[in-house]
Amino acid sequence: MIPKNEFDRCVDNACKFKTVGAWKSSKSNEFYLAEKNGWIRAICSTYLEWTISDCIEEGCLFNTNKKWMRNSRASWLQALNSGWLGIVELERCRRDAKLYRTKKAWLKGNPDIYELATAKGVSDLCIEPDADQSQSGGVTFEACSRDSIKYIRVSDWEKYSPTMYDLAVAKGWWGSCITHMRDDRPWTLERCKSEAKIFKSKSAWKREKNRSYVEAERNGWLHECIRCQRLSK
């Protein structure tokens, strides 16, 4: 039986926060008490919002979405309704792949996640030694693509794998490598210029990447971006 006064104390403390992550980050005694007694999901599902980061952390605790749904339905429903299930699955694969050196070891160690990664076409998250080098010793598009799959946000790829990120930009592979990611970077002149370089004309840029075009226009960067676009050809 739950000690009512302790449970209520945890609920009262949780209600001071808007999201699950905010409550966890507070490191309050009540959070740890709720965690110790297994009340976290019961409290969070009723009183707090699940952000995408919260859903990723919760979803990655389970090998399958079915287990996630059964054990933490509120966070699973939030991810489902918000269109985040695919993002959580990619992150689940990325984290699990780090535990293994080869695909064979991954398949043996965690077949559920390996099969998910294979079904989503990202089993190359676990790369055998030297698999990212071409015969001539240069890094290939496939290597950049495999590297990018490890990340779900463009800013994370740029931060944690700058060499591959910069190479993808320089080689013109950047756009193809980030199709599965959320681009959470702020709109800057450099970002607009990098997107403008991908296209052969101003009209193509406006049509295909309208958001960056609009931001460049709004900030008075169009002329410089278009000039950069022409110089890069």
- Quote the number of domains for the chain: 3
| Residue 175 and residue 192 share a domain | no
| Residue 168 and residue 197 share a domain | no
Residue 82 lies in a domain: yes
Question: What is the per-residue pLDDT for 9?
Answer: 86
Residue 233's domain comprises 186-233
Encoded amino acid at 157, one letter = W
* 55-98 pLDDT, tens digit each: 888 899 998 999 999 888 888 988 888 888 888 888 888 888 88
Would the pLDDT of 12 be above 80?
Answer: yes
| Residue 58 and residue 13 share a domain | yes
Asked whether 140 and 171 are in contact (CB, 8 A), the reply is no
Question: What is the per-residue pLDDT for 125?
Answer: 66
* 172-189 pLDDT, tens digit each: 788 778 878 877 778 888
Question: What is the per-residue pLDDT for 25?
Answer: 81
The number of CA neighbours under 13 Å toward the Cβ of 153 is 11
Number of helices and strands in the chain (H, E) = 18, 0
| Residue 82 and residue 9 share a domain | yes
CA distance 182 to 126: 22
Residue 50 lies in a domain: yes
Residue 100 lies in a domain: no
Residue 113 lies in a domain: no
Would the pLDDT of 47 be above 70?
Answer: yes
